[in-house]
Amino acid sequence: MSSPQQHRWDVDQIVAYRLPPYPPFDLPPLPRISDPALEEIIDSNVSTELRSLRLDKDLFVMDGPDQKSFEELHTVGFALIEAIATTWAHDRYRHFRQGEANLVRSHMIRKSSLSQLTVRYNLHTRINFDPNVSVWSEVDIGRIQAEVFEAYIGALYYSLLGTIHTATNNGEKSKEVEDGHEDTSLSSTEEHFIVPTTLEMDRFINYELQREKKRISISHIRPIKEELKRFPIPDSWERADELAKGSKTLLDITSVREGLVYTYVQVGSWVNTPWKVGCKVVDVDGREWTAEATRMTKKKAENMAAWRICVEMGLIAEDD
């Protein structure tokens, strides 16, 4: 049985896991951005490692307060994608909890996944890289590709808001419809692509996450610990320990040349592991005396080892 810390570590590995490339399932067509100004923001954005910000009052902003920026578009776009994925997960997993469904949702909206969608929709061709930056890592490119997809979704949102605002305020159709252009909202023929595509992504992500979980669990299998037994305490110890009481003190006050030396070690693998204590003393004549004793506590083992030396040295009788 894994510990909570081990389980948390395994979950962290699953969260950090990078999915392989998506299989070639069909994607729904992207709606067209009706506002040329919003589309121009995407096309004219230059990706750099560090974007320069200017201070406006108490806020760091990219442009004037009334202007849309690429950063705003991809921030709003990601929020919309996250909201859609969360809502979909609630519908897909009726008993949504912090678990499998949340992992799938997280992998659906992470940068490495969105960057694949960017390439599938050919949006990566609209990325302008700063020529002054000579080295772009795979992570940098993936992040920038994901931001372009997010910005496109954000531009669609603002574009749709503008269309609704125009139709509502003027009491007439939007300019796009007046000009004979198609409506930019998702048509019923496009909607039927969304659910099958989402389900395909879900199945793919679920399958890969289960494979990774199995790989992690196999790589961290620990040998089953042998169940420890209790050390069998002999009945004779209780009476012997009564006889040995005070023997350590007696040996301490006996005239010795080099004093007492005790050694301690736990013996065996038991639930209640006993202590083995060794005792050595050198008397005034230079004779060395040694003894050992095993007990459940150090104090009792010390007394018993000292008692045995005291008996050998003739300081006390064996039956005293």
Calpha distance 45→241 (Å, rounded): 87
Q: Is there a common fold for 4-219 and 236-313?
A: no
pLDDT grade, residue 184 (50/70/90)? very low
Is-above-0.85 flag for pTM?
Answer: no
Q: Percent of the chain having pLDDT more than 70?
A: 71
- C-alpha span between 283 and 268 (Å, rounded): 33
pLDDT digits (tens, 9 = 90+) for 62-102: 444 344 688 889 899 999 999 988 888 878 777 655 567 77
Residue spans per domain, the chain: 4-219, 236-313
At 195, list the tokens.
């659910």
Give the Cβ contact number of residue 214 at 10 Å. 10
pLDDT tens for each residue of 118-145: 999 999 888 887 666 555 677 778 888 8
pLDDT, one tens digit per residue, over 19-33 is: 888 888 888 888 889
Residue 183 is predicted with a pLDDT of: 47
Domain 4-219 has CATH 3.30.390.30: no
Architecture of domain 236-313: 2-Layer Sandwich (3.30)
- How far apart (Å, rounded) are the C-alpha atoms in residues 57 and 101? 42
How much is the average pLDDT of 274-286?
Answer: 88
At 278, is the secondary structure helix, strand, or coil?
A: strand
Sequence-ordered list of residues with C-beta below 8 angstroms from that of 255, at least 6 positions apart, any chain: 283, 284
The full DSSP string for 163-205 is HHHHHHHHSS--HHHHTTPPP-SPPHHHHHHHHHHHHHHHHHH
Q: Is 70 exceeded by the pLDDT of residue 189? A: no
**Nearest of 273, 284, 278 to residue 308 by alpha carbon:** 278
Q: How confident is the model at residue 192 (pLDDT cuts 50, 70, 90)?
A: very low
